[in-house]
Each structure stands twice: as C-alpha cells, then as structure tokens.
C-alpha cells in the first residue's frame, strides 16, 4: 500500500498526522517494554537466573508483540482514513490488556520471589 501524496481535504492531514503520533507512542511503549525486559534479565542474573530470564523474555516478547500490533493498526487506520472511514479497535485493546496483566502478574511474582 503506497500513500505517497493525497489531497488535503477537510481533516485528511490532521487525521493522518494523529495516526502517525499514535503509532510513535506505541513504538515508544514497545521499546520501553523491551528495555525493561533486558534490564530485568540483567539485574536478576545473579540472584535467580531462571526467574529473571522468564521475566525478561516476557517483557521482551510483549514489547515485540506490541510493536507488531502498532504497525498493523497504523496501516489499517491509514488505509481506512483514505476511504473516509475510521475503524474502531475492539479486540486489540482487549488482547493488549490481557497481555499486560499477564506480564504485570509475572513481574509481581518476580518481585515477591526475590524478597
């Protein structure tokens, strides 16, 4: 899909720029999750390497999945904006929330087991 140059009618530019800002926010979040995973794995390497590795892999994986979701969502919204439509996300936020709860639960177990 190539979105080279489109006519700026009504709110076209504003809508696409808002979509790009949202995408960049998702990317920052994904990179933060990956960084946190690396940090957890490295900081916990001396205490309990298995738990630290599991927590690190959980956050890194969740960050990677968040990045994949952000790209697909960005392209989906851009494509629909060109058609004059806006897709409402229903499943994505639910899946992200469940994933975040699982990772947060794993992080809680990680913190409690290191005490």
Confidence of residue 103 (pLDDT cuts 50, 70, 90): confident
What does the pLDDT average to over 87-105? 85
Say what the pTM is. 0.75
Q: Has residue 1 been placed in a domain?
A: no
State the residue range of the domain holding 52: 12-113
Q: Has residue 41 been placed in a domain?
A: yes
Number of domains in the chain: 1
Where do the H-state alpha helices sit in 44-90?
49-82
pLDDT in tens, 25-83: 999 999 999 998 898 888 876 667 787 788 888 889 999 999 999 999 999 999 998 88
Q: Is 84 left (phi over 0), alpha (psi -120 to 50) or beta?
A: left
């Amino acid at each position: 899909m190539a979105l080279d140059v489109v006519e700026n009618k009504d709110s076209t530019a504003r809508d696409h720029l808002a979509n790009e800002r949202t995408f960049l926010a998702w990317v920052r979040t994904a990179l933060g999750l990956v960084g946190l995973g690396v940090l957890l794995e490295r900081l916990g390497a001396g205490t309990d390497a298995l738990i630290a590795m599991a927590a690190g892999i959980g956050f890194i994986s969740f960050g990677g999945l968040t990045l994949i979701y952000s790209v697909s969502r960005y392209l989906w919204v851009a494509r629909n904006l060109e058609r004059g439509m806006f897709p409402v996300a229903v499943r994505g936020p639910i899946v992200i929330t469940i994933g975040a709860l699982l990772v947060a639960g794993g992080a809680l177990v990680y913190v409690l087991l290191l005490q």
